[in-house]
Each structure stands twice: as structure tokens, then as C-alpha cells.
Chains A and B, each alone.
Chain A
């Protein structure tokens, strides 16, 4: 087991957002997390990465055999956790090449797609697609064991999405890195074919299903609100 989240309850701004979440990801596994807006998906990944904005009120997080619930974000990253942000903030005055130099855990990073971004200030005036490439580049530089992609498919057309998926496959999945895809639309799932697809609604995981197509079909047919009544509920 690489990542295990046990009965996680989390508050943010005084409001309970996660209401008892369980998750297990093995080494080399691809999983997905689907859910409507404001269901708690992004909160879950921020808490896994240690964002101090959120308060864990119950439950534990384990990574690579170590409890990390109270560990500093940078120490979690050193253990091999990485998150590609949905909307990364601008780091003004800092070129992407400077940032990569600071964070890089590898010397052999070759990535044609990101070359044009290296001399630009990190995430400043980047288009949606450029942000995704910049995030990928940074993630690859970290040499992670598990990468969480928060809505990597949002704002990308099908062609670009396929291209990004190919990079994820080649650079991560094929090398045994675990991947957790957080997605609202589910568009990326057809390219990366997750082993398990989780559905989160209102701070709870209400479905764990092996066939992502069934989940997508159900959501398309009934919407997330009716997901709770779905017969595909695995647990």
C-alpha cells in the first residue's frame, strides 16, 4: 500500500468539508476521483499534501508506510507525494527555469513541450494548456512515487488532453508511479483507464467501481445527485 487515507474528517473555514473519507492506492496503480463541484475533491488532495489551511479533525493519512497526517507539506513531497494544481498561482519574478532548478530532484529532465515556458515567469499569463505543461514539468522534476492531478483535463481540448495523457503514461505510469486523477468531467479517464474510480459527493466517497465507463455512463444518465441511489455502489 502506497497511500492510505482512513476515515478522514476535515474542516475548512469552520465548516466540515470531508466527512469520513477512505482511500487506498497501491504502487503503480491509477485511480480516479469523480465528483460534482464543491464535493470536497480538491480539499482532499490539499489535505493529503498538507495544506495548513485545512484542519484534520479525525482520521489518519499514511504514505509509504509512514503516518503523515501532521507532516509539513515539504516533507511529504520529499517522501514522494506530488500534486499538479488545477489553478496554480503566479510566482511573479521567478522564471520557471529558476523554480525547476530549486526543486529538481533529477538532472536528466528533458521535456520538449515545456521549453518555451522556461524563461517566462512561473504561471504568469500562462494559458490553460501552458499551466498544465508547467505543472507536469515540475512534477516530473520531483521524481515522485504518487502524483495527484487535480482537474488536469479542465480547459483542455481533446487533442491536448490526449497529448498530456500520453506524457503521463510514458513518464509516470510506465515507470511504476501511482496516479490519482481528480476530475469533474471524467474526460481524461478514457486515455488513462483507472483501475478504480471513486465518486465523491458532499464530502463522502459514495462509490468505488472498477469499470470507469459504467460510472461515467451512470453520471451522464442520472447526474451526481442520483449517484447515491446507483446500483453500482461497490461498497
Chain B
């Protein structure tokens, strides 16, 4: 990893390797925060075993960086993370979860709450790089206060054997959320479940989901937008099937509980066009290089 010195919280296996606290932010291991800040218990639900607690109290001038690594064989992480951003603060966060090697057979289970208080703004880049035999199951809930803004991007560059990714957004009054999921399947079983609750009046949000199924992958994505009051939401799910042994299931769901809400969706699953593939091969690219370029283009679309 580049600039490891700037990583604010770095955990390797079960050990906290580094905490780099900077002005405006409180960064602690979750078990310590549970003991130190009684109010945090309402969000942790139960005493955490491991994970990070980040409390952004004042405006910061650095991107928050966290890294959770599996470096030893057969490690089973059970993380509980909490990020709290105080009112009116704007934060960028780069969150990396990875395996140091390809064959560690690790388990990464992570639960977390991310609290954006009124007028707060968060750009959250969630990056996964796993080994072929890892089992990964993150479950994050974002709670958006009044007028808060969230831009969330998830990318799994190297997918694990199994990924269960659950994301819940609770949008408060006048809040906005923009969610982008880029999911690669490569010999993987992947289940994505994302739900956007438009809870506060005039809350709005979009979910964009792109899935690529390669090499015997089974991908399933259930995306829901639930409008409880006046609000707007849009769901865009796209799948690209690269090989004949992979499957992609997209289940978009819209639930409207208010006559004043406007929610829409579009969904499509396509395959690689033979004509496009042949065209690129006639430009000197091998079949694999051509497929990679088409997949890159698919993932770039609309970015």
C-alpha cells in the first residue's frame, strides 16, 4: 500500500498495526471506544471484539484512510466499525479491505454503522482486494441526518470466493445519497443486498449497480428503494455475462409508501458482443485482452 504512514487505522489479522490520529478526529479500536464513550454503545449494539471507531468532531483537512488486512492463513475476523461525523463536516474516506496473499482462506466479517449528522457530507470509497479462497461478508448501515450528503462507491477489484455484501441507507430529511457498486465475479459466489430507505421528507437517492460474471461465477443482487414519504429515487442495475458458466440475477424492488414519492428503476443483463470482440481482435488484441477491455468499458460507463 502507498503511504502507509498516512493510514489512520490499520489492522492486520486481529492486531492493530497502526493508529494515526489527527486533529479533529478520534480514532480508537472499537472495544476501547465501547469502554470510553458510553453513547457509542447505542450504535455498537453489543460489545465489539475488534474493528475501528472513528469520530470526526471537527472539520479535517485529510482523507480518512482505514485498512483491514488478512495476512495469515485461516484468520477469521469479526469486526464492528463505527464512523460518526459531526454536524456540517465534510469528509472523504478511503476504506480498504484486503488479503495480503491469494491463498489465505480467510474470513472477513464486518458490521458497521456510519452516522452522518445534519449537514454532514461523506465521500466513501470502499475498495476490496481479496484472495481466491476468502469469505467476505460486510454489513453496513449509513444513517443520514438532515441535509446530509453521501457518495458511496464500492469496488471489488479482486473478488473472494464468497461475498455477501449488505448495505442499508437511511435517508433523513433533504438528504441525498449516491451509491455505486462495481462487482466483479471471478469463480465467485456473490450476493449483494442494498436497500435505500427514503425516510425523511425530500430525501433522494440513486443506486447504480454493475456486475460482471466471469469464470463460473454466480452473482445475485437485490436492490431496493423504499419511499416512506415525499422523495425521489432511482435504481440502475446492469449485468454483463462474460462466460457461459456464469449467472447473474438482478432483483430490483421499488416500494412506494407515499403518493408523493417518485421512484424508478431500470435493469438489464447483456453479454459480450461477438462483433465487438472480433473487431478488437482485428486490432491485434488477444481474446482475453479484448474481453478485459470490453469489461473495463462496461464498468466505466456512466462514471
Interface status of A77 (Cβ within 8 A of chain B):
yes
Q: Which of A96-110 contact B (CB under 8 A)?
A: 98-99, 102-103, 105
Q: Nearest Cβ in chain B — how far from A147, in angstroms?
A: 12
Assembly CA distance A98 to B296 (angstroms) = 11
Distance in angstroms between the alpha carbons of A105 and B281 in the assembled complex: 15
Distance of A125 from chain B, by nearest CB (Å): 14
Q: Which residues of A contact B298 (CB under 8 A)?
A: 92-93
| Assembled-state Cα–Cα distance A85/B282 (Å) | 10
Check if A94 is an interface residue, CB within 8 A of chain B: yes
> B283: which of A52, A90, A99 is its contact (CB, 8 Å)?
A99
* B282 and A78 within 8 A (CB): no
CB neighbours of A53 from chain B (8 A): 274, 278
Q: Using an 8 Å CB-CB cutoff, how does the interface string of B281-298 with A read, 1 for contact, 0 for none?
A: 111111101000110111
A72 at the interface (CB under 8 A from B): yes
From A52, A92, A98, give the contact of B278 (CB < 8 A): A52
Q: How far is the CA of A50 from the CA of B281 in the complex (A)?
A: 9
Closest to A52 in B: B278
B260 close to A (CB within 8 Å): no
Q: Report if B280 contacts A (CB, 8 A).
A: yes
Give the residues in chain A near B299, CB-CB below 8 Å.
93
| A142 at interface by CB-CB < 8 Å | yes
Q: Which residues of A contact B285 (CB under 8 A)?
A: 74, 102-103
**B280/A91 in contact, CB under 8 A:** yes
**Does A138 lie at the interface of the complex (its beta carbon under 8 Å from any beta carbon of B)?**
yes
Q: Which residues of B contact A37 (CB under 8 A)?
A: none
Contact B283 A89, beta carbon cutoff 8 Å: no
* B42 close to A (CB within 8 Å): no
Alpha-carbon separation in the docked complex, A77 to B286 (Å): 11
**Cβ-closest chain B residue relative to A46:** B278
CA gap between A74 and B286 in the complex, in Å: 6
Choice from B279, B282, B286, B289 contacting A91 with Cβ under 8 Å: B279
Check A78/B283 contact, CB under 8 A, given A53-B278, A89-B276, A93-B296: no
A94 and B282 in contact (CB under 8 A), knowing A53-B274, A89-B275, A89-B276?
A: no
Is A83's CB within 8 Å of the partner chain B? yes
With a cutoff of 8 Å between Cβ atoms, the chain A residues found around residue B286 in the complex are 72, 74
Kindly list chain A residues whose C-beta atoms are within 8 Å of the C-beta of B274: 53
> Which has the most chain B C-beta neighbours within 10 Å: A82, A83, A91?
A91
A residues with CB within 8 A of B = 49-53, 72-74, 77-78, 82-83, 85, 88-94, 98-99, 102-103, 105, 121, 138, 142
Chain B residues with CB under 8 Å of chain A are 273-276, 278-287, 289, 293-294, 296-301
Q: Can you name 25 A-B pairs with beta carbons within 8 Å?
A: A49-B282, A50-B282, A52-B278, A53-B278, A72-B287, A73-B281, A73-B282, A74-B285, A74-B286, A77-B281, A85-B279, A85-B282, A88-B279, A89-B279, A91-B279, A91-B293, A92-B297, A94-B296, A94-B297, A99-B293, A102-B285, A102-B293, A103-B283, A121-B297, A142-B284
